[in-house]
């Protein structure tokens, strides 16, 4: 099955790989970017220069109606991947929350007006697994982040609020348009160019010495190629209205990732990779001076395991080995000169 699909945020880490896989399966793709002048040539080159009959690129932003009607015209499906993400915590949480929520509702509204039948939102594990005080637990599709919890920071709030808003909107206004969400964990894997996603920042910092010791932090890992594959399955599989699929593999602590990098990369590439854990007291001291560290201080010692069996059983989705994703990410960051070793 292949139709015409709009992929928002076309230059992004997940969206670019998703477009690649959709084109390979015969879909016609519309993609939104913030600036055609800055992005179109680079995006086409990244995808092997598909012709305008296969890939059409439109300018549209999350906080403006301009361009959305043209982008959705003729589309049977939408994959709404675009969402604000930052490497550091904004001073005002609404800088992330408002564009995430309003951009999602805008995409839904224009999709409905265009007669789109299936809308897939790229949500996040941030909407599922946070806002809890336990040190170790397992989540599945039934769980939601408690945004009132004091440890919840702006990015987590933005993803939770935007997914809930989308589901509420569809329940009230959807009129038969099917809505599905994909909730990825920490997305790793190869990057295509030096304009990399903040989601791979942890690997970059382990390689370049920005993190001299490994804090007691971690995350479940999933490969960008596997996340894109799950999106394709959600676009193509019939009968998924209201579904929610977690995209995640095993949970790894930073020290475990550092060990994998030292084991599987040439020694000359891992000279700056930390060999010792960072004491929690040191993280607390750093948090006094660094807002980014302060926002994740509450994450120390937590292990959030993810039960992704629903996606595997319902859609036949499979993930590659997480260690492959870690190493492929590191190799591509070095190859593109993002990390100087």
- How does DSSP classify residue 68? H
The C-alpha atoms of residue 314 and residue 95 are separated, in whole angstroms, by: 36
- Report CA 120 to chain centroid distance, whole Å: 13
CA distance 238 to 54: 23
DSSP code per residue over 145-192:
--TTSTT--HHHHHHHHHHHHHHHHHHHH-TT-EEEEEEE-EEES--S
Backbone angles phi, psi at 79, to 5 degrees: -115, 105
Q: Tally the residues of the chain.
A: 341
The answer to whether the beta carbons of residues 222 and 188 sit under 8 Å apart is yes
Q: Which two tokens stand for residue 216?
A: 């007691």
203 closest CA partner among 264, 247, 287, 289: 264
* Token pair recorded at residue 158: 């933005």
Q: Where on the phi/psi map is residue 237: left (φ > 0), alpha (ψ -120 to 50), or beta?
A: beta
> For residues 196-219, b (16+ Cβ closer than 10 Å) or e, as one string?
bbebbebbbbbbbeebeebbbbbb
Dihedral sign, Cα of residue 155, residue 260, residue 46, residue 311:
negative
Which DSSP letter does residue 321 get? -
Please tell me the distance from the alpha carbon of residue 57 to that of residue 50, in angstroms, as a whole number.
11
Exactly one of 112, 157, 159, 302 is catalytic; name it.
Answer: 159
The rounded distance, in Å, linking the Cα atoms of 294 and 281 is 12
Is 174:139 a contact under the CB 8 Å cutoff? no
3-class SS of residue 219? strand
159 carries an active-site annotation? yes
Catalytic residues: 159
């Amino acid at each position: 099955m292949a139709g015409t699909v709009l992929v928002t945020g076309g230059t992004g880490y997940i969206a670019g790989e998703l477009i690649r896989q959709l084109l390979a399966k015969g879909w016609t793709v519309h993609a939104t970017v913030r600036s055609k002048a800055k992005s179109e040539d680079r995006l086409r080159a990244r995808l092997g220069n598909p012709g305008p009959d296969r890939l059409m690129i439109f300018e549209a932003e999350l906080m403006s109606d301009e361009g959305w009607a043209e982008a959705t015209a003729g589309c049977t499906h939408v994959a709404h991947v675009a969402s604000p993400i930052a490497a550091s915590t904004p001073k005002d949480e609404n800088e992330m929350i408002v564009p995430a929520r309003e951009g999602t509702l805008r995409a839904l509204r224009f999709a409905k007006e265009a007669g789109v039948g299936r809308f897939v939102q790229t949500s996040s594990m941030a909407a599922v697994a946070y806002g809890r005080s336990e040190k170790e637990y397992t989540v599945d599709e039934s769980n939601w982040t408690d945004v009132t919890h004091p440890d919840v920071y702006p990015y987590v709030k933005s993803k939770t609020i935007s997914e809930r808003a989308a589901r509420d909107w569809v329940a009230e206004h959807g009129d038969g348009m099917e809505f599905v969400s994909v909730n990825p964990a920490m997305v790793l894997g190869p990057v295509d160019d030096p304009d990399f996603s903040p989601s791979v920042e942890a690997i970059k910092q382990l390689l370049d010495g920005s993190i001299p010791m490994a804090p007691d932090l971690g995350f479940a890992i999933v490969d960008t190629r596997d996340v894109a594959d799950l999106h394709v399955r959600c676009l193509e599989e019939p009968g998924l209205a209201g579904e929610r699929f977690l995209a995640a593999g095993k949970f790894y602590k930073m020290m475990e990732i550092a060990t994998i990098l030292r084991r599987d990369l040439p020694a000359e590439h891992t000279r700056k990779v930390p060999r010792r854990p960072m004491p929690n007291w040191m993280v607390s001291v750093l948090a006094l001076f660094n807002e980014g560290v302060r926002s994740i201080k509450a994450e120390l010692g937590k292990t959030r395991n993810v039960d992704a069996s629903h996606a595997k059983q319902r859609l036949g989705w499979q993930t590659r080995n997480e260690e492959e994703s870690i190493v492929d990410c590191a190799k591509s960051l070095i190859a593109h000169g993002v990390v100087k070793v």
